[in-house]
Structure 1
Amino acid sequence: MTVSSATLYFNRYRLNQESLSLQLQSCSQVSGENALFLAEQLHSSFTKKGQKQYCAFASDSPVLALIEAKSDVQEIADTVASRMLEGLTAETLPAETILVVAHYHHLATDYLLTTLLGVKESVQLSEAISPQRSQSLDIANISLAVQVDLSELSINPDSARSIGYIKGRVGRKIGDFMAEAFAIEEKLNAKEATEQLVESVESFIDVSSQDEETKKAVRDISVNSMKAAAQSGEFMQVKDLAEEIEEKTGLTGFYEHAAEAEDFTEACPVYASATKSMQKFFGQGGGISISFGRELLGDKIEFNAHTQTLTFKKIPPNLLDALKKATKTTD
């Protein structure tokens, strides 16, 4: 277990007719082995989420003031609970209504993670092997969370990476009530930063090699490194990527090339899905959706820029079968 100490605080948002309230006047506290286990699960689930924004506290943040004053975490948790309640309405109350504020030590770092979790139904077996209905926290589907790196914040108060924020799934009309409760401001957009790094990789390939195998190797190295960074929750170190590209392909100068970008940053937060363009060509519109691996272009798929058409020399078996059935074609 990588979490060495943890204390968690719980509360619930409830809707009574058109009025919202907190179930408890003060968050309930959990410590010991249960807290260690839950903190480990929460940290792991949060880390694996690739769609984060990276933020910093506004100078007038009440939560920052409490942290700087070294206030008891119970007070911080109760303040967060109340401030989030102020930003919610009956219309914007998300399905996740269990508030969890976790203060824990992971490896060499101190964290404060706040999230709203849903509850899922499940069935457990008693010692007598009798099935019993139960409820559990839906930690795996964490989608509303703020993680404050207290260690980073203490060393560098102006850090652009001290706060990671998941604001919810696309299309959820819940506003930014969590960001407002903490009074945090976006500093790094992970998706834009990743897209910039991908562009740097592609432009470096264009000017550095004409060999298709080498191009593929650089893309594979970059994708694997970015995925590893996203999985671990670490920022992508551009210098480390440049060294790996040089070591495995012999191509030099990637770091200097990437540094020419206007918004270059030494360490890049990784938005995992933004690496997709290095692996596949994809697009949709007009009732058509197409996706295929880059390595197929020029091999099993030909593109005619003049006529703006694609020619497929090989069709996936299930698609071929469906087309034959639709057109009543036989071999």
Structure 2
Amino acid sequence: MAVTSAQLYFNRYVIHNEQVELQLDQSSLVEGDNALFLAEQLHQSFVKKGQKQYCAFAQDSAIVEQIQQEVEPETLANNIGTRILSELDLETIPAESILVIAFYHYLATDYMLAAMLGVKESVQLSEAINPQRSQYLDIANIQLALQADLSELQINPDSNKALAYIKGRVGRKVGDFMAEAFQIEEKFDSKQATQKLVETVETFIEQAGSDPEKTKAVRDISVDVMKSASQSGEFIQVKDLSEEIEDKTGLTGFYDLAAQDEEFNEECPVYLSASKSLQKFFGQGGGMSLSFNRDLLGDKIKFDPVSETLTFHKIPPNLLDALKKAMKNDS
């Protein structure tokens, strides 16, 4: 287990007398092996979320001031819960109402993670194999969460990557209530940064020539690096990506091309869904939605730029079956 120490504080937001309240006056503390296990699960679930944004605390943030003053974890957890409560009302309270504030040491780094978790019901078996109704925290589907790299903040209080949050569902970032409670400011638009890196990859391929094997290799290398960075929660080092492309394809100049951008950064956050154009062609409109792997073009799928048509020489079995059934029903 990579988490070597952990303290977790739990509370719940409830609706009482048409007001949102905290269920407990003081958060409930979990320590020991259970805390280590839960912190590991929370960390891994957070890191694996591909849609994250990076930000920094505003200068007048009460939370960062308390972190810098090394306020006791219990006091900080209770303060965070109260600050989030001040931003909640009957209209904004999410379905995820269990608040967990985790302080833990993962590998060589100290973290704080604040998350709103949902509760799901299930059935478990006792030792006598009697089914019993049970509830569990829906950690795998973590949606509203913010993580602070406390070690990075100690070294560089103005860091642009010490604070990350899950962008969440359509039309919803970390939740306005959490953004206001923590008093955060966006620093890195990871989606935009990833899109710009993808554009650099495509420009590099275009300038490098038309060798299909090397073109595919550059795209595959870029995708692998992005996936690896996303899964580990790290930023891509552009120089490292450039060196890997050169080592595996012999093509040089990627770093120099990327550095020509006026807003160039040596490292790039990853918004994984923004990289899918390296692997797939996709588009929608007029009642259609199409998506297919790039390597199918010219093989199983032909494109005629004059007539602007696609010809599919093989289609997925389930789609084929649905089409046959539709033709049979219409005849």
Mean alpha-carbon deviation: is it higher for 63-72 or for 168-177? Answer: 168-177
> Which residue in 1 is equivalent to 2:21?
21
Kept in 2, the 8 Å contact 1:7–1:30? The answer is yes
Kept in 2, the 8 Å contact 1:167–1:176? The answer is no
The answer on 1:9 being equivalent to 2:4 is no
Kept in 2, the 8 Å contact 1:284–1:290? The answer is yes
> Which residue in 2 is equivalent to 1:88?
88
TM-score normalized with structure 2 length: 0.96
Aligned residue identity for 2:233 = G
How far apart are residue 327 of structure 1 and its match? 3.1
Kept in 2, the 8 Å contact 1:167–1:178? The answer is no
**Equivalents in 2 of 1:170, 1:159: separation in Å?**
27
> Which residue in 2 is equivalent to 1:46?
46
SS for the counterpart of 2:140 is helix
**Equivalents in 1 of 2:115, 2:211: separation in Å?**
48
SS for the counterpart of 1:34 is helix
Kept in 2, the 8 Å contact 1:124–1:133? The answer is yes
> Which residue in 2 is equivalent to 1:104?
104
> Which residue in 2 is equivalent to 1:272?
272
Mean alpha-carbon deviation: is it higher for 67-76 or for 174-183? Answer: 174-183
Q: Please provide the CA RMSD for this pair.
A: 1.6
SS for the counterpart of 1:140 is coil
The answer on 1:67 being equivalent to 2:63 is no
> Which residue in 1 is equivalent to 2:57?
57
How far apart are residue 17 of structure 1 and its match? 4.2
> Which residue in 1 is equivalent to 2:216?
216
1:239–1:174: structure 2 CA closer, same or farther, 3 Å change rule?
closer
How far apart are residue 184 of structure 1 and its match? 0.7
| Identity within the alignment, % | 66
Aligned residue identity for 1:270 = V
Mean alpha-carbon deviation: is it higher for 260-269 or for 18-27? Answer: 260-269
Mean alpha-carbon deviation: is it higher for 163-172 or for 87-96? Answer: 163-172
How far apart are residue 122 of structure 1 and its match? 1.4
Q: How many residues align?
A: 329
Q: How does 1:174-323 map to 2 (within 5 A)?
A: 175-323=175-323
Kept in 2, the 8 Å contact 1:63–1:80? The answer is yes
Q: Any unmatched runs of 5+ in structure 2?
A: none
**Equivalents in 2 of 1:176, 1:277: separation in Å?**
30
Aligned residue identity for 2:87 = G
1:204–1:90: structure 2 CA closer, same or farther, 3 Å change rule?
same
Kept in 2, the 8 Å contact 1:94–1:174? The answer is no
How far apart are residue 179 of structure 1 and its match? 1.1
**Equivalents in 1 of 2:174, 2:55: separation in Å?**
19
**Equivalents in 1 of 2:173, 2:186: separation in Å?**
19
Mean alpha-carbon deviation: is it higher for 227-236 or for 301-310? Answer: 301-310
SS for the counterpart of 1:65 is helix
Please give the per-residue CA displacement for 1:2-56, whole angstroms capped at 9, x wherever unaligned: 0011111111000124211000111111111111111111101000011111010
1:174–1:53: structure 2 CA closer, same or farther, 3 Å change rule?
closer
How far apart are residue 118 of structure 1 and its match? 0.7
Aligned residue identity for 1:319 = L
**Equivalents in 1 of 2:71, 2:328: separation in Å?**
74
TM-score normalized with structure 1 length: 0.96
Mean alpha-carbon deviation: is it higher for 255-264 or for 163-172? Answer: 163-172
1:264–1:174: structure 2 CA closer, same or farther, 3 Å change rule?
closer
**Equivalents in 1 of 2:153, 2:208: separation in Å?**
40
**Equivalents in 2 of 1:233, 1:174: separation in Å?**
17
Aligned residue identity for 2:295 = E
1:300–1:42: structure 2 CA closer, same or farther, 3 Å change rule?
same
